[in-house]
Amino acid sequence: MPENIEDVQVLQVIFAPRAVDMSRLRGRLSDEEIEAAVERFYINTELYLQPGMLQPLGMVRMYGEDWRLNAMGIYYRHYFSPHWVTDGRKLWIPSFEGIDWTVTAEKHRRERAATIVRHVLDNEKWEKSEYAWDADAWADVFGKMRDDPAVAVDKRRCYFWEGTYREVSRLMVKEDDTKIRYRTPDAVFGLATCKDQAYQLPPELEPDRLRALMAQPACNLASDPYLGGAALGFPFAVYEAKGWAGDPRVARWQACTAGMVYLNMLEALALKPGCEEGSYQEVDGRNWQVFALTSFGAHWHVLVGYKRPRRADEYAGFEGMSDEVFIFQRLWSARVVTERKAWELLSLVDQIHEWGVTHFRDRVIRHLRRWHDFSDASYKKNAEALLTVPEPYVDTETGELIWSLLDPELPDWADQLEAPTKAKLKAEFQARSVEEFVAQGWTPPGLEADKLLLFAQSIRDTRNGIRLLGTRAYPYDDDMNDPESSTLVELSPAVVSEIIEASSRKRRRTRKD
C-alpha cells in the first residue's frame, strides 16, 4: 500500500454504464437521450476478458457475464466494419442505403411501419409487459416470415455444451466435464421442414430424412437446435425480446449464445461426410453467418455473427479459453418510435428474410445432398450386417422366423439428453433400418413389404423405439460408436403386429383428444 497519494499510479479509468429505467426516463429525456443511454448500457463494457490479469471483484460483478462469454468465444462489437471480418470470411450485409422510402413501391412497408409505431406508443403509454412487446414483434415485424411456407418460425429450445467457469477469472475449467444446457429464444428463424399443400418441399428437407441424419451414428448431423427434432432446419436468425422490466444486455447474451449454437450446426453441415475434421465440401466451407435481433421495449438491435479460429492476440491456446470465436457485430440499432425508424427495421428484416429463403436455403440444400447420400449408404451397410450377424433363424416352438434390429448405442454427447429424446433417436434409427430391409428386397416370411413399411412408421409414431421383448446381446462390429455394448432386438411377425397395433391405438387416442 503506497504511503503517499503521489505514489499511486492510475492505469485505467472505467465508467460503468447505468441501468436504464424506462419508467423514470420516459418524459424526462428526449428520444435521442434515451437511445444513447440504452446504447451505453447495451454495450456494458468494451474491455474484453484478459486471462491472467487479476480484476477487482466489483468489475467481475459488472462485467462477469460478458467475460464468461468471451471465454466461450463470444465477442460483441458495437460497430460494424468489414476490416473486422477476418480469416477469409465474407459476410452478406443487408442495407437500406439508396432506397427511397417515399416511393410507391414502399407503400406497403410504410403501412406496416405505421402499425409498428402505433403499437409501440400504446405499449409505452400503458407500460405493458414483455409479452405485449414480444407478441407485437411476431405480428408486426416478423409477420411476412411467419406467413412464408419456406420459413419455420418458432420459440425453439437450443442445446449447447458448456463447462463450468471460475467465479473470479471467468475462465472455463477445462478439466471439468462439459454439461448440456439450453436456451429458449423468443423466436428462431430457420428453413421449413414440414410439408405444406401449397408448397413443394425439397426432398432434402423432409423431416424423416433429417431425423435419420441425426440418428445415424456415422453422421450425427443435427438440423434442428432442439436435438432429436426436425420441425425446423438450420436457423439463420434469432430474436430475443425484453420489456421495460428486463435487461437489454441479457437479450444480447441470450441471442448471441443461440447464434453460437447455430454457427456450430452450420459448420458441421459444411464438412465432408465421413472425412476428417476440417475437410469441407466447398472451398468457402467455413463462411457461414447468422443474424441476431434483440429488442428492449422500442429499442431494437440487428447483429450479424460469424465463426473463426481464435487468434494469438485473443489468447489462443490459453487454458480456459475456447479454440474458436464467434464475432457478433452491430449492423443497426434505433429507438423505433417513428415511421422512418420502423421502416428501416422492416427493410432490414425483409432483406434477411429474402436472403434466408434464397442464398442461404440453396446452400444448405446443396450441402445436405451429400450428407443424405452418405447416410443412405451407412444405413444400407447397417442393414446388410444385421441380416448376417446373427443370421435369422426359426423358433422351434412357434415356427416363426426370428430376425434382429439393432438397439443403437448413442454417442457420448447424448448421455445428458432427456430420455424421450434419446428414445426418439433410437426409434428413427430402427425405423430407417427396417425401410432399408424393404429397399433391398428382403422381408421375413409372413410379412408383406407394405406391412413392414407400416411397421417402420409405427416405430416412429410411438417415439419409444422397439420395446425390448427378450433382447439378446451380441457383439456388433460395424464401425458403431460402442460395438461391445450394442444389443440386438429380436423380432417376429407377432412382435411386428403388436407394435403396429400400439401405434394405431396412440393415433386413435390423439384424434379423440
Question: Per-residue pLDDT tens for 107-160?
Answer: 999 999 999 999 999 999 999 999 999 999 999 999 999 999 999 999 999 988
In a domain, 380, yes or no: no
* 338 & 439 share domain: no
* 52 & 124 share domain: yes
In a domain, 237, yes or no: yes
Q: How far is CA 110 from CA 98, 294, 310, 342, 352, in A?
A: 16, 22, 43, 8, 18
Q: Give pLDDT, residue 168.
A: 63
Number of Cβ atoms within 10 Å of the Cβ of 498 = 14
In a domain, 393, yes or no: yes
* 368 & 394 share domain: no
In a domain, 382, yes or no: no
Lowest mean pLDDT among 234-238, 373-377, 459-463, 465-469: 465-469
pTM (two decimals): 0.90
406 DSSP 8-state letter: E
* 159 & 296 share domain: yes
**Does residue 472 carry a pLDDT above 50?**
no
**Does residue 480 carry a pLDDT above 50?**
no
- 330 in Cβ contact with 80 (< 8 Å): yes
β-sheet with 299-309: strand ranges across? 74-77, 324-335, 299-309, 290-296, 232-242, 187-192, 151-154
In a domain, 379, yes or no: no
In a domain, 381, yes or no: no
Q: Give pLDDT, residue 25.
A: 82
Q: How far is CA 324 from CA 70, 71, 174, 452, 507, in A?
A: 10, 10, 15, 46, 46
In a domain, 473, yes or no: yes
Q: Nearest Cα to 179, choosing from 489, 436, 412, 346?
A: 412
Q: Give pLDDT, residue 98.
A: 93
Q: Which pLDDT band, with edges at 50, 70 and 90, does 56 fall under?
A: confident
Q: Give pLDDT, residue 341.
A: 98
* 369 & 397 share domain: no
| CA 264-269-272 angle, 5° bins | 125
The domain boundary residue, chosen from 309, 338, 373: 373
User: What integer best gives the mean pLDDT of the chain?
Assistant: 87
Q: Give pLDDT, residue 477.
A: 41
Contacts of 421 (CB under 8 A, 6+ apart): 227, 228, 414
| Structural domain for 253, as ranges | 5-373
* 222 & 245 share domain: yes
Burial class (CB in 10 A: 0-12, 13-18, 19+), 255: buried
418 DSSP 8-state letter: -
Ranges of H-type helices in 387-448 = 419-439
- Among 389-393, 410-414, 497-501, top mean pLDDT goes to 497-501
DSSP collapsed to 3 states, 256-315: HHHHHHHHHHHHHHHECCCCCCCCECCCCCCCCCEEEEEEECCEEEEEEEEEEECCHHHC
| Strand extents, DSSP E, 40-101 | 74-77
* 65 & 159 share domain: yes
* 101 & 229 share domain: yes
* 170 & 202 share domain: yes
- Average pLDDT in the 68-95 region? 93
* 400 & 333 share domain: no
The domain boundary residue, chosen from 343, 373, 403: 373
* 402 & 489 share domain: yes
The domain boundary residue, chosen from 338, 373, 408: 373
- Average pLDDT in the 38-61 region? 90
Q: Give pLDDT, residue 427.
A: 85
339 vs 501, which has greater pLDDT?
A: 339
Q: Which pLDDT band, with edges at 50, 70 and 90, does 177 fall under?
A: low
* 401 & 293 share domain: no
Question: Exposure string (b/e) for 148-168, b if CB count within 10 Å is 16 or more?
Answer: bebbbbbebbbbbeebebeee
In a domain, 301, yes or no: yes
For 319-372, the pLDDT digits (tens) are 889 999 999 999 999 999 999 999 999 999 999 999 999 999 999 999 999 999
Domain count, the chain: 2
Lowest mean pLDDT among 169-183, 285-299, 414-428: 169-183
